[in-house]
Amino acid sequence: MIIDAFVLRALGAGLLAALATGPLGCFVVWRRMAYFGDATAHAAILGVALALGFNVSIFAGTLVTAFAMALMVSSLAGRGWAMDTTLGVLAHSALALGLVAASFLQGVRVDLEAFLFGDILTVQVSDLIAMALGTAAVTALMLWRWEALLTATISEDLARSLGLKPEREGMILTLALALVVAVALKVVGALLIGALLVIPPATARVMARTPERMALGAVAVAALSVVLGLMASLWFDTPAGPSIVAAAAGLFVLSLGAGRVVRA
Amino acid sequence: MTAPALVEARGLSVAYGPAAPVLSHVDFTLQPGEIVTIVGPNGSGKSTLLRALLGMVPGTAGSVTRAPGLRVGYVPQKLHLDPNLPLSVARFLRLNRKLTGDEIAHLLSRVGAPGLEERALATLSGGQLQRVMLARALAGNPQLLVLDEPTQGLDQPGTAAFYRLIEDVRRELGCAVLSVSHDLHVVMSASDRVVCLNGHVCCEGTPSVVSNAPEYRALFGLGTGGALALYQHHHDHGADHPDHPHDHETCDHDH
């Protein structure tokens, strides 16, 4: 059986995204940052439009806008509006602004659907290199700051008493989130990155007894979702990004059943 | 008597943003081995003083000096425990700290919570969680144990038992204990010194001096004089306090 090169590239891209999203997704779940992740991911569309408009790399454009968005959310937090109101305003504004900005790009054919829902089957080697670098950076950040991030998540005061700076750890998570958005944009698209951040950790939670196993489990679940989603996409000719997320959702439902058995 | 202080604040003021300062011109000294309790009403800056003394929040005026290399064991007010964070007691004790299984078992039995290693932190009762947090604070063999409202959410017998444990630990380790409480009932008798705080230091001294100080009575009302009954009832047992019947119920523990 011959596997086409584009399938292998797609698989590589998906597995890189799984590796990047798993551990960070755990912090998104533990710190209840799911909407924060969504807002950051939605800003990626604006990043794509700006990158195409100014003719710079889409990866870089996405990374910068997502980081700017995350910084804006952090600085607006606690300024009178409830966090979910702030996030609701920013997430949808960023998405709408991105879509409007993209419409101004004349002469450039922008396949918006590819950026909203991912386009993993057209991943090029150059994309893969950028994604690998991004994933390596996220993984390094997670490994380097793991204990500190975990401590700051459980108690900011405890972290401070150990000489850690919770604000700095929060900034590191923000940076990692922007990197993950840039890595995963091609895989599942801006609208579904949030799903890839939350569903695999939630699935891994059932079996995990330690934070580390939950993170590894999330990577495994995300990787399995990528494989299943890609296979479904090739066999049934369904869109790849949504198929990957649908596979993750299916695994989550299975984990609920398994959890019931484990507890029984 | 004139050993170098563990922590010393001179003219310390702390403000969060442009709002009125939470603390102004606080002088505070903690000697090795001392048990000091900071009491005060809600919003009086008790926790802020604790944090400023530990360098967790910066002061806007004045100075804080800590003994060089001071080992602090800190028990936070509460943990943010998301039920989706799978964290065993043993893993919690190992956060940012290297401990062997034996050391963990020893610490847990020291605080009266043996065998909890593999329990998930989120499933512990309030009293068990306090003990586990205390075990964590003791792991570094601290010279100074700092407790921020440690008995919040414990009932009175639980509170009394927890403070007895703190006294035992202190006798063993000889560490200083600095705690924050509005839980006057129990803490005061265990303390060498009580600092009554309301944005500034209202009064300080031994528990009985403070409880009789007019500043303290103005802040907490006269009725709380009976609060000393729980621990120091041998001092003021003769006094009857019909407005505080609960204190007498818990007296039984110490008889």
Which of A227-241, B58-72, B168-182, B221-235 has maximum average pLDDT?
A: A227-241
Reported confidence tier of residue B236, pLDDT bands at 50, 70, 90? very low
Q: Give the integer Cα–Cα distance in Å for A82 and A89.
A: 11
Distance separating alpha carbons of residues B86 and B118, to the nearest angstrom: 11
| 8 A C-beta contact, residue A185 and residue A44 | yes
Q: What's the mean pLDDT in B58-85? A: 88
The 10s digit of each residue's pLDDT in A85-106 is: 888 888 899 899 988 988 888 7
Collapsing DSSP to helix, strand or coil, B68 comes out as coil
- In this prediction, residues A28-52 reach a mean pLDDT of 90
Q: Kindly list the distances between the CA atom of residue B40 and the CA atoms of A69, B61, B99, B114, in Å, as whole numbers in the listed order.
A: 42, 22, 37, 34
Q: In angstroms, rounded to a whole number, what is the distance separating the alpha carbons of residues B165 and B169?
A: 6
The model's confidence at residue A78, banded by pLDDT at 50, 70 and 90, is low
Residue-wise pLDDT tens digits, B132-181 = 999 999 998 899 999 988 877 788 788 888 888 888 888 888 899 998 88
Q: What is the dihedral of CA A105, A110, A115, A116, to 10 degrees?
A: 80
Q: What is the pTM of this model?
A: 0.84
Q: Is the pLDDT of residue B240 over 50?
A: no
Q: Which two tokens stand for residue A255?
A: 């984990």
Identify the pLDDT of residue B252. Answer: 35
Cα B227 to Cα B214: distance, rounded to the nearest angstrom? 16
Instruction: Judge whether B252 is closer than 8 Å to chain A, CB to CB.
Output: no
Under DSSP, the state recorded for B21 is P
**A193: which 2 tokens?**
């990155």
* Residue A129 confidence (pLDDT) above 60: yes
Which of A148, A161, A208 faces B72 most closely, judged by CB atoms?
A161
Token pair for residue B29? Answer: 């000294």
State how far residue B241 is from chain A, nearest Cα, in angstroms: 39
Specify the higher pLDDT residue, A30 or B152.
A30
Question: Under DSSP, is residue A164 helix (H, G, I), strand (E, B) or coil?
Answer: coil
Contact B91 A211 (CB under 8 A): yes
Give the residue from B190, B74, B94, B95 showing the smallest Cα distance to B138: B74
Provide the percentage of residues in chain A whose pLDDT is more than 70: 95
User: In the structure encoding, which two tokens stand for residue A13, read together?
Assistant: 């891209």
Residue A105: name the closest of A161, A53, A180, A152 by CA.
A53
Cα nearest neighbour of B77 on chain A: A157
Chain A, chain B: beta-carbon pairs less than 8 Å apart? 66
- State the average pLDDT for chain A: 90
Residue B88 touches partner A, C-beta closer than 8 Å:
yes
Looking at per-residue pLDDT, the higher value among B186 and B59 belongs to: B59
The predicted complex's ipTM stands at 0.82
Side chain identity at B44, as an amino acid letter? S
Whole-angstrom Cα distance, residue B247 to residue B156?
9
